[in-house]
Amino acid sequence: MFSLSFSNWRFVISTQAARGLSRRNDEAASNELPADLSTGTLNITMLGINYAPETTGIAPYMTDLAESLSERGHRVHVVTGYPHYPAWEIDSSFEGRSIDEVINGVHVHRRRHFVPSPPNALGRVKMELSYGLRAARSGWNSPDVIVCTSPALLATAMAIGRAKLTRHRPAIGVWVHDLYGQGVVETGAMTGRGARATAKLEATVVKSADGVAVVHDRFVDHVVEQFGVPRDQVTVVRNWTHVAPIAVDDLAAARLRFGWAPGETVVLHTGNMGVKQGLENVVDAARLADQRELPVRFVLVGDGNQRPTLEAASVGVSRIDFVRPLDDENFRTAMAAADVLLVNEAPGIVGMAVPSKLTSYFSSGTPIVAATDVESTTADEIRASGAGVVTPNGDPAGLLDTVLALAADADRSAQLGAAGVRYCATSVGKTASIDKCEKWIHELVSRHSGTLEPADDSHPDHPMTNTDKAADAR
């Protein structure tokens, strides 16, 4: 059996269990051809609880990376969970305890796990541990490198613990999408000793890898200064645009199909409806629009643990709609047909994450309003892109006024939308980000084997963050 204990916030794995798991892993990979390191072909195992067919959050990036690496000739295995996000219930079409299949060239190994409802802190711990246990006990196909996606932090800890005691230990990389310790504080999930212990665990887990990839430049200093990771072991791999823009021949007809009346300003929010999004602000803005009899409609597309609460709070409010997740074509059409795309974050959310919806928003050509802390990572991204405007979070009147001012200025809206499309072409292109991630994975293997050349630190006053501008939009 696999066991995990925390002592001084270091993860410890039973050596006997790890050896047993390693033997099973080696046996499962007995028919696997060795990686051809001389030509750059690697045997890569990716571990992360979110994967397609989930369409929001981390899953699209996990899926894109795995399939792109496979297309480039690498042998890719993904050990993932059952689809459950953002509804926080397992998709009923996925049955049994395990599913092993090949999808678009990727060997996908799904392992059923606990899903909390509602997803409180204790429930998430149970989910991560249940997934981590099953992922760590799965065959890994003797990889040259494993890439662990965080969140989920506890599952990552378990996977790294097993990897370090594997007979032929692979290179280990951690791909950080959210800053876990900072997140529990900013969302109010933990305080005091619990929050400090979580941050300490996160630092221990991340520092134990051979290298770290983060999704934004602002994460670099945190990983270096708070986690103690050497700066030359941190690479920035920007989240990329994973939704292609769509040409809508008749926007008026599309709007009517969605039930949007002519002449009303449609403000569209997509994705997760959780604590972090603080969407009570939007409900209050819609209620204020009702009171003022303004031609504004707020549309929340998606799902999440806060959706029932938000729907209950919206009873009697006519200028807000809740829509279940849309299929790909309707999702892209809705973004193109809306007047404003909305990012809303709860007060206190500053630096824990970069909303994944932003890359889709940029590609749509529709202007963005971000109701967020003016010092947040999200605000930085909006300013860098030039694709929208920032308004303070937790201020429904301010949100409503900002939306109305933007809707009344067609020229500015067009300029902001065009800036978002340009930003896709220069900063969040898929090909360049995948190139960067593939290079990072090769560096993990080289660093682990001791063949990586030292970084050029001849300019210590200007440390590199490894962020390059993409030359293409896809």
Which residue has 């807000």 as its token pair?
Answer: 320
Whole-model pTM? 0.81
Q: Which two tokens stand for residue 262?
A: 């002519």
161 vs 231: CA distance, rounded Å: 23
| 192/182 Cα distance (integer angstroms) | 12
* One-letter identity of residue 369: V
| Alpha carbons 212 and 261: distance in angstroms, whole number | 48
Predicted confidence (pLDDT) at residue 458 exceeds the cutoff of 90 = no
CA atoms in the 13 A half-sphere facing the CB of 256: 5
More confident residue, 456 or 63: 63
At 102 the pLDDT is: 98
Please check the confidence at residue 457 and state whether its pLDDT lies above 50.
Answer: no
Residue whose entry in the numeric block shows the structure tokens 């005691």: 165
The confidence band for 454, taking pLDDT boundaries of 50, 70 and 90, is low
Is the pLDDT at 467 greater than 60? The verdict is: no
Give residue for tokens 């059996």.
1
Which H helix or E strand runs over 269?
Answer: strand 265-272
Listed in sequence order, the residues at least 6 apart from 459 whose beta carbon sits closer than 8 Å to its beta carbon are none
Residue 453 confidence class, pLDDT cut points 50, 70, 90: low
Look at residue 41 in the predicted model and tell me its pLDDT: 92
Question: Distances in Å between the alpha carbon of 407 and those of 102, 298, 307, 416, 446?
Answer: 46, 13, 27, 12, 52
Is residue 450 pLDDT above 90, yes or no?
A: no
Least confident of 73-77, 246-250, 283-287, 331-335: 246-250
Which of the two residues, 185 and 216, has the higher pLDDT score? 216
Phi, psi values for residue 357, rounded to 5°: -65, -20
Please check the confidence at residue 6 and state whether its pLDDT lies above 50: no
pLDDT digit string (tens) for 172-200? 999 999 887 888 777 777 778 888 888 89
> How far apart are alpha carbons 312 and 319 in whole angstroms?
14
How far is the C-alpha of 19 from the C-alpha of 24, rounded, in Å?
A: 9
Above pLDDT 70, what percent of the chain? 87
3-state secondary structure of 311: helix
Q: Is the peptide bond before 245 cis (omega within 30 degrees of 0)?
A: no
